[in-house]
Amino acid sequence: MPNKPPEMVAAVDLGSNSFHMIVCSLNDGTPQTIDRLREMVRLASGLDKNNILDENTQERALACLERMGQRISHFPPGSVRIVGTNTLRTAKNAGQFLIKAEQALGHPIHIISGIEEARLIYLGVSYSLSSNANLRLVMDIGGGSTEYIIGTGETPKEKESLHMGCVSVSNMFFKDGFISKNAFNQATLFAEQKLEPFQRKFQRKNWDEAIGASGSLRSIDKVLHAKNWSNNGITWLGLQKLVAYLTQCSHISELDLPELDPERLPVFAGGVAILYATFKSLGIEQMTVSDGALREGLIQDLLGRIYNYDMRSETVLLVAERYRTDKVHAARIKKTNTLIVSKLLDTCDWASNENALQFLNWAADLHETGIDIAHSQYHKHSAYIIEHADLAGFSKQDQILLASIIRSHRRKFTLTLFNDLPSPWHDYAPYLSIVLRLSVLLHRNRHNDELPDFTLSIIKSKIVMHFPDGWLTQAPLTHADLTQEADYLKSAGIKLEFE
């Protein structure tokens, strides 16, 4: 993050139904919303049966992002958070689309897991509401997924993300806008089946109040009020009246719902079916609708990073604790990581990247997590855990980067492992892995003895280390380890010289 906080920050949510952007000015660390943009892109409708995002949908999405990009392209690095959700998690060709999308926006885009989406939604909702000690059930219906969270204050306790949303359910059961009682019953049953494994966890007795977030729930709330079917948020009685009205019609064009945005009409029935199934399954009588959602949560998470509370660092500590890693040893390695990077600041671009040392030291904290599974090939187990776990605060790209560094910290060194990382990490990550390899090697004895004052330089594919005269003679095991390391790196076209 920049040393001086930016004057403005922005968050962009590339949802499966709509793209949202919020721009805030910062006044003593407090965000003040100064601009909002929303466009109904319906990204999820562009997925074919093979989960390929079609060209027309990509073009529509990119045109929207170019308009948003005009607003934020001049913002400094670290002042904008952009995330993709369910459709970009699912699309097999998401990587190709993301390259063009990042060019349009001028900032990196991160794909987040459903559980991370749930955490950020809860953060956005809790920020928009007055803090209280009540246990809250928060629900967010997106275009391709629906999130359920139970939490208190700013802390989410239970989080789930289910693969159903207003776009996907509408496309499955209300194709081309046709509605019927049977189709609605089938859509409700589908949503109930998705929710069934989590019904006990989220049922009424486990929370004090229900809160809805997202455009679908706001639209349903507006319709119920306009029709005088509810005057206190979304109620079970009002929802039943809405369902009875919907199922009398045979096509969405027959619906007389003046408060409903015409753009939302094609996906409205799918959202209602998901909400109806949720009220029915969980025993909800009433739900208040919040203004806060994912994008507000993104702003709060971004402010944490700017003002030195990065949720990712807390997550790393929790994972290290869970897998009983050696914290003292990790601290030694982090100290040496920092020392090595400081020696390379003037000669290596990657060393001055503001996030390089952060990822390197997270890797040091987590590189031995796999030992809790098996000592043999533990680096592979560690990398698998970090890539596939639900890690709060981390995007999928963050986790793959971290896993790649950890996977490469010992034994065979393969440059192709880094090829698919986003720019600039496909160039930087091999060097970060080499730094971690050297730090781990220099502390193989796991003693607290201070290292000698060595010099180190890395120029392209050549590494030169120089130790004080006679030190390596007195440390024959380190000399042997460096000789073996030179062989590992040589197979990747990297030359290690030491004396």
CA distance 256 to 223: 10
Q: Say which CATH number the domain at 267 has.
A: 3.30.420.150
Q: What is the pLDDT of residue 22?
A: 97
Q: Say which CATH number the domain at 59 has.
A: 3.30.420.40
Is 401 within the bounds of a domain? yes
Beta bridge partners of 330: none
Examine the domain organization and report whether 323 and 277 are in the same domain. no
Confidence of residue 131 (pLDDT cuts 50, 70, 90): low
| CB contact burial 404-433 (16+ within 10 A = b; e otherwise) | bbbbbbbeebebebbeebbeebbebbbbbb
One-letter amino acid of 114: G
Q: What is the pLDDT of residue 1?
A: 42
One-letter amino acid of 287: M
Sort 355 into a burial class: Cβ within 10 Å, 0-12 / 13-18 / 19+.
middle
DSSP-based helix, strand, coil % in the chain, nearest 5: 55, 15, 30
Last residue of a domain, one of 247, 274, 303: 303
Is 123 within the bounds of a domain? no
Looking up tokens 């992002």 gives 65
Q: What is the pLDDT of residue 87?
A: 97
Examine the domain organization and report whether 138 and 267 are in the same domain. yes
Token pair in block for residue 156: 């989410």
* Angle (CA) 214 216 217, round 5°: 70
Last residue of a domain, one of 280, 303, 326: 303
Examine the domain organization and report whether 258 and 355 are in the same domain. no
CA distance 361 to 364: 5
Q: Which CA distances in Å does 488 have to 60, 381, 434?
A: 48, 20, 11
Mean pLDDT across 374-381? 97
Beta bridge partners of 138: 149, 211
Last residue of a domain, one of 289, 324, 359: 289
Q: CB-based contacts of 125: which residues, under 8 Å, 6+ apart?
A: 136, 138, 211, 213, 290, 292, 293, 296, 297
**Containing domain of residue 276, as a range?**
130-289
Mean pLDDT across 432-442? 98
Q: How many domains does the chain have?
A: 3
Beta bridge partners of 289: 212
CA distance 440 to 415: 19
Q: What is the pLDDT of residue 361?
A: 98
Is 81 within the bounds of a domain? yes
Is 12 within the bounds of a domain? yes
Examine the domain organization and report whether 330 and 470 are in the same domain. yes
Examine the domain organization and report whether 101 and 165 are in the same domain. no
For 111, phi then psi, to 5°, come to -90, 130
Is 1 within the bounds of a domain? no
What is the reported pTM?
0.94
Examine the domain organization and report whether 228 and 161 are in the same domain. yes
Is 121 within the bounds of a domain? no
Examine the domain organization and report whether 107 and 177 are in the same domain. no
Examine the domain organization and report whether 243 and 344 are in the same domain. no
Examine the domain organization and report whether 395 and 451 are in the same domain. yes
Is 118 within the bounds of a domain? no
Pairing of strands 135-141, 30-40: unpaired
Examine the domain organization and report whether 84 and 174 are in the same domain. no
Examine the domain organization and report whether 339 and 417 are in the same domain. yes
First to last CA, the chain: 37
Question: Is 90 exceeded by the pLDDT of residue 3?
Answer: no
Is 398 within the bounds of a domain? yes
Examine the domain organization and report whether 61 and 198 are in the same domain. no
pLDDT tens by residue, 322-372:
999 999 999 999 999 999 999 999 999 999 998 999 999 999 999 999 999
